[in-house]
């Protein structure tokens, strides 16, 4: 099978598409024939050597890709509730050499859920990492219905899901993005769309843009702040709880998030698609920023 890998760290030019052995599912695992796999900032960080392993020995390589949509191709022992051919989504975890940017990937069954039926698999591939990140960050904040929540980077993939989930939970959402994104933010459910933090005061902040101090300064004393950058958590003060979300697979919750897509609560957004052979172009485009949705690789 074909897979995108790196043998060293650097820019998009270090990406390679190689022929790799077909992975076999072990007990409690599922092999998925990949229809689409999202490209995330974590992939760029790993490729550049900023996150994950810091060096690779001779002959070693790393695969990339964390979220996947496709069909069940094979089941390991002890996997109930899934059938070959079923459309699924999942979040890859662990440090295996091959990940979702490939024609096939093996996941723990506990990280897999039925794909939403209202969107195609390309759009479904934008769900696992981004929706889990937004959802788990909101869980860390512990905000209650009626609280004012700041979401930075609100027009981006994680921020957009955060706005929708927070609105669905009854929070009053202050969404920060560029001025031209105000109509989109309103459509996603934001109560206020702002392009500056001047005068903004909130009970909690979900800092999807990783602004750090400026976003923290908008939180009232005794409030809560969560960033999506575990390596850039600002210092706490004024009784504010400060944390970073570190995404973990949760197939049961992913099934609920997929159901929210089918109910129209969550909106999947695809910025563009690329074949595996153009993974370097996709990495370069993501690094440019300004996307209003996810880039997706299609084998």
- Both 16 and 103 in one domain: the answer is yes
Angle between the N-to-C axes of helices 251-262 and 128-141, in degrees from 0 to 180, rounded to the nearest 10: 100
- Both 78 and 176 in one domain: the answer is no
Sorting pLDDT into bands at 50, 70 and 90, what band is 239?
A: very high
Residue 202 lies in a domain: yes
Residue 261 lies in a domain: no
At residue 231, the pLDDT reads 87
- Which CATH number fits the domain that encloses residue 60? 3.90.180.10
Sorting pLDDT into bands at 50, 70 and 90, what band is 51?
A: confident
Residue 20 lies in a domain: yes
- Which CATH number fits the domain that encloses residue 169? 3.40.50.720
- Both 114 and 137 in one domain: the answer is no
- Judged against a pLDDT cut of 90, whether residue 59 lies above it is answered with no
Sorting pLDDT into bands at 50, 70 and 90, what band is 72?
A: very high
- Both 239 and 216 in one domain: the answer is yes
Question: What mean pLDDT is predicted for residues 1-28?
Answer: 96
* Cβ(67)–Cβ(128) below 8 Å: yes
- Both 92 and 173 in one domain: the answer is no
Distance set, CA 76 to CA 16, 37, 73, 103, 247 (Å): 29, 22, 10, 18, 25
- Both 191 and 110 in one domain: the answer is no
- Both 153 and 196 in one domain: the answer is yes
Question: What mean pLDDT is predicted for residues 263-271?
Answer: 97
Residue 257 lies in a domain: no
Question: What mean pLDDT is predicted for residues 218-234?
Answer: 95
- Both 81 and 168 in one domain: the answer is no
At residue 95, the pLDDT reads 56
At residue 57, the pLDDT reads 81
- Judged against a pLDDT cut of 90, whether residue 240 lies above it is answered with yes
At residue 96, the pLDDT reads 61
Residue 41 lies in a domain: yes
**Kind of pairing between the strands at 29-39 and 104-108:** antiparallel
- Both 140 and 107 in one domain: the answer is no
At residue 52, the pLDDT reads 77
- Judged against a pLDDT cut of 60, whether residue 89 lies above it is answered with yes
Give the Cα separation of 244 and 221 in Å (integer): 19
Distance set, CA 82 to CA 106, 113, 254, 277 (Å): 14, 9, 15, 31
- Both 18 and 76 in one domain: the answer is yes
Residue 231 lies in a domain: yes
Give the Cα separation of 87 and 72 in Å (integer): 7
Q: What is the mean pLDDT of the chain?
A: 95
- Both 8 and 116 in one domain: the answer is yes
- Judged against a pLDDT cut of 90, whether residue 50 lies above it is answered with no
Domain count along the chain = 2
Residue 210 lies in a domain: yes
Range of weakest confidence among 92-96, 182-186, 232-236, 278-282: 92-96
- Judged against a pLDDT cut of 60, whether residue 287 lies above it is answered with yes
> How many Cα neighbours within 13 Å face the side chain of 215?
29
Question: What mean pLDDT is predicted for residues 39-45?
Answer: 94
Question: What mean pLDDT is predicted for residues 24-32?
Answer: 97
Residue 138 lies in a domain: yes
Where do the H-state alpha helices sit in 9-126?
41-47, 121-124
Handedness of CA 30, 256, 219, 158 (dihedral sign): positive
**Kind of pairing between the strands at 148-152 and 172-176:** parallel
Residues in the chain: 299
> Which of 51, 162, 26, 42 minimizes the C-alpha distance to 91?
42
Buried b (16+ CB within 10 A) or exposed e, 125-142: bbbbbbbbbbbbbbebbe
> Which of 205, 203, 207, 185 minimizes the C-alpha distance to 195?
185
Give the Cα separation of 239 and 123 in Å (integer): 40
Owning domain of residue 279 = 2-127+268-298
Decide: pTM greater than 0.75.
yes
Q: What is the pLDDT of residues 170-214, one digit of tens each?
A: 999 999 999 999 999 999 999 999 999 999 999 999 999 999 999
- Both 150 and 185 in one domain: the answer is yes
């Amino acid at each position: 099978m074909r897979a995108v890998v790196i043998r060293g760290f650097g820019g998009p030019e270090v990406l390679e598409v190689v022929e790799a052995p077909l992975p076999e599912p072990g007990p409690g695992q599922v092999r998925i024939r990949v229809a689409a796999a999202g490209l995330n900032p974590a992939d760029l960080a790993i490729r550049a050597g900023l996150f994950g392993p810091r060096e690779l020995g001779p002959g070693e390589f790393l695969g990339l890709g964390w979220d996947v949509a496709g069909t069940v191709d094979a089941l390991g022992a002890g996997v109930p509730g899934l059938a070959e051919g079923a459309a699924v989504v999942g979040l890859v975890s662990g440090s295996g050499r091959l990940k979702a940017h490939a024609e096939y990937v093996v996941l723990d069954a506990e990280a897999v859920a039925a794909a939403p039926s209202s969107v195609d698999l390309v759009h479904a591939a934008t769900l696992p990492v981004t929706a889990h990140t937004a959802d788990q960050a909101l869980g860390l904040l512990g905000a209650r219905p009626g609280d004012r929540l700041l979401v930075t980077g609100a027009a981006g993939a994680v921020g957009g899901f955060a706005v929708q989930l927070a609105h669905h939970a009854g929070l009053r959402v202050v969404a920060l993005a560029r001025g031209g994104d105000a109509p989109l933010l309103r459509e996603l459910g934001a109560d206020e769309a702002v392009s500056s933090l001047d005068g903004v005061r909130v009970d909690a902040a979900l800092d999807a843009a990783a602004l750090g101090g400026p976003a923290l300064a908008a939180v009232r004393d005794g409030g809560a702040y969560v960033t999506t950058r575990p390596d850039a958590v600002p210092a706490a003060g004024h009784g504010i709880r400060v944390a970073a979300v570190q995404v973990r697979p949760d197939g049961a919750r992913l099934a609920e998030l997929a159901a929210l897509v089918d109910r129209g609560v969550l909106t999947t957004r695809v910025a563009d698609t690329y074949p595996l052979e153009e993974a370097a172009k996709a990495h370069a485009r993501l690094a440019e920023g300004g996307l209003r949705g996810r880039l997706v690789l299609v084998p």
